[in-house]
Amino acid sequence: MTPIKNDLFLRALLKQPVERTPVWMMRQAGRYLPEYREVRAKAGNFMQLCMNPELACEVTLQPLDRFDFDAAILFSDILTIPDAMGLGLSFAEGEGPQFANPVRTAADVAKLPVPDPEAELRYVIDAVRLIKTNLQGRVPLIGFSGSPWTLATYMVEGKSSKSFQKVKSMMFEQPQLMHQMLDKLAQSVAAYLNAQIAAGADAVMVFDTWGGMLSHDDYLEFSLRYAQQVRQLLNTTQDGRQIPTILFTKGGGLWLEAMAATGYDALGLDWQTDIGNARARVGDKVALQGNMDPITLYAQPEVIREKVGKVLHGFGQGSGHVFNLGHGILPDINPEHVKAMVDAVRELSPQYHSQA
């Protein structure tokens, strides 16, 4: 295993001393970069790009060649598992993901397989191996998956939703069927992430994009319960190294204490959560990742610098913070504004790590 030259990201997730706050960005390999758009055009469409390990590797590395990020994240999509289950994923231009075979009945749930990551999802695992080789130890590689609940929302709705009427109706009217589906998804997510770890991922992240759409009790029962099951099934020791784990629930600020008790090493924070308050609530249990409002990147560099400073000040002194946006970067952001953010983190954060 090639030693990682810049391991700030991993140390911060494990709350070990660092010289400055590490920074990366959700969706950092994506449409805001002209070089990404060129590769996507060459691939033909989004899924063909995801399913080509060489091209997925190329776009994973693109932001590292342009910015001083402290981590790479695998270029893929959260819906690869449902696609591997045979639901027929496609992306309609301007409409987002759609499934030809949504899950609506007990028979639909019963026939869902637990995909073999080295078979049905081999293209992802091959991409991890290729990216890891090409990184040559520059920075850590993050693997990821959607959470069981978030995957279930797309699988039952059949596409993106604003009301989540179909999936919530199944949850309310057939809770045991929903639990069966979520249990199968938790097994699938854990197997998928374990395969990414075995292939070289240095950290893994679970994206619970739609957990925040649930009520208090329903979040704990149908979302967090299965994110915790995933965590319990993960092999987080690889070649003598600890593999840090991150859980991100968009809209999850209400449940930080419960999330911190699930065994993940770090929690992602959306931009609506005060990072100082979050740190006070979770104490030393977990590291925190986030949480600048993505819209900030439309502002001028001096405003971006000011807002970066506020997030850093909000977290305060000591390790356990990874700087990130509170959600993914938007596609029409000026890349120079991303550089302003990264430069500001690098310049302003060392004062918060004077004991490192």
Mark whether 27 is an active-site residue.
Answer: yes
Q: How many whole angstroms separate alpha carbon 75 and alpha carbon 178?
A: 29
Tell me the angle at which helices 165-173 and 175-199 cross, rounded to the nearest 10 degrees.
Answer: 120
- Separation CA 47–CA 233 (nearest Å): 28
Please check if 236 is assigned to a binding site.
no
Q: Is 279 marked as binding a ligand?
A: no
- How many helical (H) and strand (E) elements, i.e. helices and strands, does the chain have? 16, 11
Annotated binding residue 77: yes
**251 annotated as ligand-binding:** no
**191 annotated to bind ligand:** no
Catalytic pick from 7, 11, 32, 77?
A: 77
Active-site residue flag, 31? yes
> Which residue in 37, 40, 129, 241 is the catalytic one?
40
Is 190 assigned to a binding site? no
138 catalytically annotated: no
Binding site annotation covers 158?
no
Q: Active site includes 305?
A: no
Catalytic annotation, pick one of 7, 11, 20, 154: 154
Question: CA-CA distance, 285 to 276, in Å (whole number)?
Answer: 15
Please check if 262 is assigned to a binding site.
Answer: no
Contact between 345 and 321 under an 8 Å Cβ cutoff? The reply is no
Residue appearing with tokens 């758009």? 37
Question: Residue 264 catalytic?
Answer: no
**Which of the residues 31, 281, 305, 346 is marked catalytic?**
31
The alpha-carbon radius of gyration of the chain (Å, integer) is 19
Q: What DSSP string describes 270-318?
A: -TTS-HHHHHHHHTTS-EEEEEE-GGGGGS-HHHHHHHHHHHHHHH-SS
Q: Does 237 count as an annotated binding residue?
A: no
DSSP-assigned beta bridge partners for residue 97: 91
Catalytic residue, chosen from 11, 20, 27, 225, is 27
Asked if 117 contacts 155 with a C-beta cutoff of 8 angstroms, the reply is no
Question: Residues forming the annotated binding site for substrate?
Answer: 27-31, 77, 154, 209, 327
Please give the positions annotated as active site.
27, 31, 40, 77, 154
Question: Residues forming the annotated binding site?
Answer: 27-31, 77, 154, 209, 327
